[in-house]
Structure 1
């Protein structure tokens, strides 16, 4: 319980700091965001009196002095109200986020989970069977990881959409399908997500495989593994229960970071494939000076990273009880 409370306190302070920094970001940007929007409106005609306050409320900048604005912002965050999006005006920011977060979680989340599980499993076997043909696959997967991500995406896009036309070229679904929980839309979404998912798996599985393989080789030389083998335990029990369980700890910590950044999506991948996820939405917000949407995206990404690290901290404490001991 003390371990849980200590972690909760730490992450609560980190979350408060993240919210405070997110509040300060639009105010640290050179210039006045409200004046930028008003200048755009003036290009289409005279701006009515009092429009400055209306735009400030739309941007979620609040009113009054800085403390009053900060309190208004905390209240808005607690109510999950982030104002209206400029890029998708007059759509609320929460509506835009709800859509793009779902796309990113389904694609990047599942692809990352597949690459982690596949990499750890293959790394465990490669480390256990050193010098075999499986161990010789490590340089191949490492080579794929070393290839620039955008170059691999462009290469696969050319080979599998232009040369062979196996997958759709871009987008998250076919524009002629009705969006909803129906077979046509789900099939279209899956077919559009396969190529980006393959790109993510190919470019990331090598790192997980190599890290797990090296940790397995190091763990197999430990005394407790030798003692387990001397007891006559089955090879599978020694490999999974003794060697892999301890070798996987650094991978668990690494997975915490990657799990949090799943919500941010893969900016390059989503640009190359024009996939409607968080990364593509963030790019659109930056290009349109959409301060409410940028602020909300940054906050969601930060909170996702903190939540993922908290969950994995709890998992880490379960896998290795030594980490729960206070020093």
Structure 2
């Protein structure tokens, strides 16, 4: 219990630090967001100070002392109020993020979990049959595919299956002629548009899971307790799953948790290449348009999701390895 309480306290402290830094860093930057927007309007003619002040009030830019801004920021944060998005004006930042988040969670999240599960199982099988044909073939092939850059593979798939064969659409999350709705036609269109992005994520990610699990599994198979289990006549399946795979899985839980945490940020390059309406594409749009409120909210969402994912990894590791709870390993 002490282990879980300590981890929970550390999570709360880290979230508070992340929230505070997210408040402080934008205010250390020179100028203000209104000036960035006014630069665009200034191309059409001179802008008066009164117009700039009106724009600042319309966008809800902070006023008052730093302490009052900080408490107002915490109050707005608790209520999910991140301000108005400059890129999607007059929509609020919260509504913009909520529109993009499901696309990323469903596509990137599910494929990340799928490639981890498939890669881990293949890694267990390859390690148990090390030196055989499957091990050699899978290791070489997936080592090669895992080295593919996201954008290179995405462009290759677009060229072959989009331009030449014309099997799949090359951009967007659904048919633009359809209105987003929870019906068969829209869901089918969304699935159709997600095929190439899903293949991109899976191919470039499954190799890392396989290689990581295979290497850990091989090291674990040389431990004394594995030799003892074999000497006692346990089935190979029991030894591989309950003893070897369980302990080999511990070192890569943290990496998988980090991958899940980064899912909220989306796959920036993949979503940009496919113009997929997820968090990565939203982040690229916010950077291009100097949308400070949206950037601030996105960075905070990504940071907190990574912290929560690492916290979950610590809890799972503590459950799988009792030595962590007793303080024997740290």
TM-score for both structures, normalised by structure 2? 0.94
Aligned match of 2:281: 280
Q: CA RMSD in A?
A: 1.7
The whole-number CA distance in structure 2 between the counterparts of 1:53 and 1:321 is: 60
Per-residue Cα deviation, 1:97-143 (whole angstroms, up to 9, x for no partner): 00111110011001101110010000000000111221011111011
Deviations along 1:46-80, whole A, 9 cap, x unmatched?
Answer: 55838527625725x42211111111111111111
Mapped to 2, the partners of 1:53 and 1:15 lie a distance apart of 34
Determine if the alignment matches structure 1 residue 86 to structure 2 residue 86: yes
What is the distance in 1 between the residues matched to 2:53 and 2:150?
43
Aligned pairs for 1:139-288 within 5 A: 139-288=140-289
Superposed displacement of residue 164, structure 1: 1.5
Relative distance call for 1:17 and 1:197 in structure 2 (3 A) is same
Q: Are the equivalent residues in 2 in contact too, given 1:142–1:210 (CA < 8 A)? A: yes
Report the Cα distance in structure 2 between the residues aligned to 1:233 and 1:76, rounded to whole angstroms: 59
What secondary structure does 2:50 align onto? Answer: coil
Which residue of structure 1 aligns with residue 108 of structure 2? 108
**Alpha-carbon offset, residue 166 of structure 1:** 1.8
Residue in 1 aligned with 2:35?
A: 35
The more displaced of 308-317 and 36-45 is 36-45
| Residue in 1 that maps onto 2:314 | 313
* d(CA) in 2 for partners of 1:296, 1:44: 32
Once residues 58 and 138 of structure 1 are traced to their aligned partners in structure 2, the CA distance between those partners, rounded to angstroms, is 54
* Structure 1 gaps, min length 5: none
What is the distance in 1 between the residues matched to 2:220 and 2:53? 64
Q: 1:97 to 1:44 in 2, by over 3 A?
A: farther
Seen in structure 2, the aligned counterparts of structure 1 residues 54 and 72 have a Cα distance that, compared at 3 Å, is farther
Question: How far off its partner does 1:37 sit?
Answer: 2.6
- Please give the alpha-carbon distance, in whole angstroms, between the structure 1 residues aligned to 2:305 and 2:325: 23
Kept after mapping to 1: 8 A contact 2:143/2:208: yes
Instruction: Go from structure 1 to structure 2 and tell me whether the alpha carbon gap of 1:47 and 1:182 turns closer, same or farther (over 3 Å shift).
Output: farther
Q: Using the alignment, how far apart are the partners of 1:32 and 1:160 within structure 2?
A: 45
Tell me if 1:6 matches 2:6.
yes
Question: Which whole-Å CA distance do the structure 2 matches of 1:125 and 1:76 have between them?
Answer: 50
Listed one character per residue, the Cα deviations across residues 283-321 of structure 1 (whole Å, up to 9, x for unaligned) are: 111111111111100011011111111112111111111
**Count of aligned pairs between the two proteins:** 326
Instruction: Determine if contact 2:108/2:263 at 8 Å carries over to the other structure.
Output: yes
Structure 2: gaps of 5 or more residues: none
For 1:16 and 1:44, locate their aligned partners in 2 and report how far apart those are by CA, in whole Å: 44
SS at 1:171 equivalent: coil
Q: Secondary structure at the match of 1:49?
A: helix
